[in-house]
Homo-oligomer: A and B are copies of this chain.
Amino acid sequence: MFEFNITSENNRSRTGVFATPHGDLTTPVFAPVGTQAAVKTLTPEHLKGINASLVLSNTYHLYLRPGDELVRDMGGLHKFMQWENPMLTDSGGFQVFSLSQTRKVDEDGVTFKSHIDGSTHRFTPEKSIAIQENLGADIIMAFDECSDPNDRAYIKSAMERTHRWAERSLKAKTRADQALFGIVQGGVDAALRTQSATFIAALDTPGIAIGGLSVGETKQEMHDTLDVVMPLLPKEKPRYLMGVGTPEDLINGVLRGVDIFDCVLPTRLARHHSAFAPEGRLNLMNATFARDERPIDEACDCYACQTFTRAYVRHLIVAKEMLAGTLISIHNLRALIRLMEQIRVYIAEGTFEARAEELLAQWANNAKRKNT
Contacts and interface: CB of A to CB of B under 8 A. Distances in A.
B321 A44 contact: no
Give how many copies assemble into the complex.
2
Interface stretch (A74-82, A188-196, A220-228): A74-82
A326 B42 CA distance: 9
Nearest to A307: B82
Contact of A311 (B41, B70, B326): B70
A326 B316 CA distance: 16
Contacts of A80: 309, 311-312, 315
A186 to B, nearest CB: 34
Given A82-B307, A291-B73, A41 B319 contact: no
Interface string A310-336: 011011101101110111000000000
B323 A44 contact: no
B321 A40 contact: yes
Given A293-B74, A308-B82, A309-B74, A43 B319 contact: no
B82 A43 contact: no
Contacts of A81: 312
Which interface class (under 10, 10 to 19, 20 to 34, 35 or more) fits A?
35 or more
A214 interface: no
A360 to B, nearest CB: 33
A49 to B, nearest CB: 9
A34 to B, nearest CB: 9
Contacts of A316: 36-38
A321 B81 CA distance: 12
A130 interface: no
Contacts of A118: none
Contacts of A326: 41, 43, 326
B307 A40 contact: no
A65 B44 CA distance: 32
B66 A318 contact: yes
B323 A43 contact: yes
Given A81-B312, A308-B82, A312-B81, A290 B321 contact: no
A107 interface: no
Contacts of A303: 43, 45
A71 to B, nearest CB: 9
A315 B82 contact: no
Contacts of A321: 36, 38, 40
B70 A290 contact: yes
Nearest 9 A-B pairs (CB), nearest first? Answer: A66-B315, A36-B319, A38-B321, A38-B323, A82-B307, A41-B322, A65-B319, A74-B311, A322-B322
21 contacts: A36-B321, A37-B312, A40-B323, A41-B323, A42-B323, A43-B323, A44-B307, A45-B303, A61-B319, A65-B315, A66-B290, A66-B314, A66-B318, A70-B291, A74-B309, A80-B312, A80-B315, A81-B312, A82-B307, A82-B312, A322-B322
